[in-house]
Amino acid sequence: MWSADEIAGLCYLHYRTRLPKQGKPDPNREWTSLAAVVKVESAAQREALDSPENLQVTKEVVAMGTGTKCIGQNKMRKTGDILNDSHAEIVAKRSFQRYLLHQLWLAASHQQCIFSPGTETGKWKLKPNIIFIFFSSHTPCGDASIFPISEPENQLPKPVTEGHAGGQSAECRSDHNHLCPEDERKSEKMARNCIIKRMKTDDGGCFSITTEDLVVQHGSVKREDNANQKSCQCSAEMQTANKESGLVRPKVVDVHRTGAKCVPGELDDARIPGLGYHCVGLLRVKPGRGDRTCSMSCSDKLARWNVLGCQGALLMHFLQYPVYLSAVIVGKCPYSQEAMRRAVIERCQHISSLPDGFLTQEVKLLQSDLQFEHSQQAIQEVQSNSKTKLVPCSAAISWSAVPEQPLDVTSDGFRQGTTKKGIGSQQSRSKICKVELFHKFQKLVTSISQEDLPDTLRMKTLKTYWDYKEAALNYQEAWRVLRSQALLGWVKNAEEYLHFT
C-alpha cells in the first residue's frame, strides 16, 4: 500500500537528509530537478498467509538523481567516460542500474537480495513481492510537457488533485495491495477517456472542460513504410460557460512548451504562435547550448523503458524478464494526465511480436500534491520580489543504495572539480558513466564460473561494450521491434562511441 504523496514525501526526505549540500542548488539563485526509484516490498507470501492482519510493506529509495543539463554532440567521447545526459530522470535511472548490478552480484554470491533464481542457467528474476516506482519532481521534458495553458473566466475553488486525497481512509491504511485504493480508482479514472477533464492554470488553480470543447485538427505525415502516423495538435477552441452545469469553460491561450527539438528527418513543429506551436506525439532530442545534443527527451526514454525495462542491454544477460516500473509519479508542477499517457504509454501501445518476457506496460501514472523545495516553481515563489535571475544548477547528483561510494556529484559530465588536465583520468569519471558501469558488469561476469554463466555469455569471446550489448539477443530484438513499429527516427549513438573496453 502506498500513495502518490507518500512516495513524493519519502523522496523529498531522502534528498534533504541523505544528500549533502555539495551539488545542491543555491536557493537564492538556482533551481534543479529531482528523480528517484523507490522499492516497495510487501511481506513474502508465506508470512502474509500466517498473519494477514499484520502485512508489512516497506518503502525504500534505492536510487536518486538531480540535474537539468545535457552535453552537446561535440563534447561526446569515444571512451565512455562522460555522462552525455544529466537530466534528473536519466541520472536516477543510471543510479538504479548501479543498484541492480550490486543486487545481481549479491545474487551470484548467494546473499540476500531482490532476485530469486530463474528457470534458465545463470538467469535471475525479481522476487514477486517487490515492485519499483519512479518519481520525478517535474513533468518529463519532451512530449509529456506539451499541453494547453488555459485561462478560466471565473476561478473555481481548487479540487483535490489526482495524486492523493489528503487524509487517507482506513480502507487505504489496511489494504494490502501495492496501490492505495484511492489512488487505484484515480489511476483507472484518469486512464479512461472520460467526458470531463481537468486542466490546470499557471497559478495552480483547476477547472473542468468537456472533451467536445477541445477541437483538435489532425495532420499526418506519410512515411515510406506508411507506419506510425503522427498527429499534430494545431488548434483548440473553447466555448463560453455552461450556466446550467456551472462548469467554467476556459479560454485556451497557449501550450506549455518544451525546449526539446524534433528529431532530424521527422515531422517538425509548426511553431505557429499560440496553440499551433508544437506537434504532439513526436520523438525529440534535448536542446543544447548552440551545440545540438544526441540525447532523446525524457518522455521518449520513459516510453522506451516502459517496453524494454530499466535494466538496459548489459543486465538483460542475467535477467529472465526486464525490470519494469509499476508506476510513474510526478510532483506538484504544471501537469497533464492526458499528455503523460500519450507520451509514455500510447505511442508504443500498438506494437506486436515482442520477444518472450517483453511487454507493452500499462504503467500507473499519478501526480502528487507535494512540491519539490528546489524546483523552479518553488524557488520562483520564494524569490518573487528578488531581481536576481534564476538559473538551473550546473551540478548533477547521483545516489545509489550500494555499499561503496553511493554518492557522485558531476558537472559537465565529469566528477565535480575535474580540471581540463584531469579529463580522462579514473578520478574524473562518474560512477554511473558507461565505462564505469561496464567495468562493474565485467567484474560480475568474471566472478562467475563458466558453467554458471547464462547462455549468451558462456564460452563467448566478447571484448568491447558494444560486443556485450549486441550479445544480449532478446533485448536487441525487442529494441529493433520497438524502433521499427513505434519509435522510428530514434537518434542512436554512432557505433564508434561504444567500442571502448
Residues belonging to the active site: 89
- Within 10 angstroms of residue 268's Cβ, the number of other Cβ atoms is 14
Q: What angle do CA 294, 473, 303 make, to 5 degrees?
A: 45
Largest Cα–Cα separation, the chain = 75
Query: Taking the alpha carbons of 454, 460, 466, 470 in that order, is the dihedral positive or negative?
Result: negative
Beta bridge mates, 298? none
Secondary structure of 455-467 as H, E, C letters:
CCCCCCCCCCHHH
463 CB-near residues (< 8 Å, 6+ apart): 501
Distance (Å, rounded) from C-alpha 423 to C-alpha 389?
A: 31
Using CB atoms within 10 Å of the CB of residue 265, give its burial: 0 to 12 exposed, 13 to 18 middle, 19+ buried: exposed
Alpha helices in 242-295, H assignment, sequence order: none
Distance (Å, rounded) from C-alpha 410 to C-alpha 416?
A: 5
Distance (Å, rounded) from C-alpha 305 to C-alpha 93?
A: 10
Distance (Å, rounded) from C-alpha 39 to C-alpha 95?
A: 13
Alpha helices in 109-239, H assignment, sequence order: 170-174, 181-191
Secondary structure class of 328 (helix, strand, coil): strand
Q: What angle do CA 41, 44, 47 make, to 5 degrees?
A: 130
Short-list 253, 325, 260, 286, CA closest to 69: 286
Distance (Å, rounded) from C-alpha 334 to C-alpha 98?
A: 31
Distance (Å, rounded) from C-alpha 125 to C-alpha 122?
A: 10
Pull the grid cell for residue 328: 510513474
Rg (the chain; Cα; Å):
23
Residue 410 DSSP symbol? E
Distance (Å, rounded) from C-alpha 253 to C-alpha 222?
A: 30
Alpha helices in 392-472, H assignment, sequence order: 434-446, 465-470
CA distance between the termini of the chain? 44
Please say whether the beta carbons of 475 and 316 come within 8 A.
Answer: yes
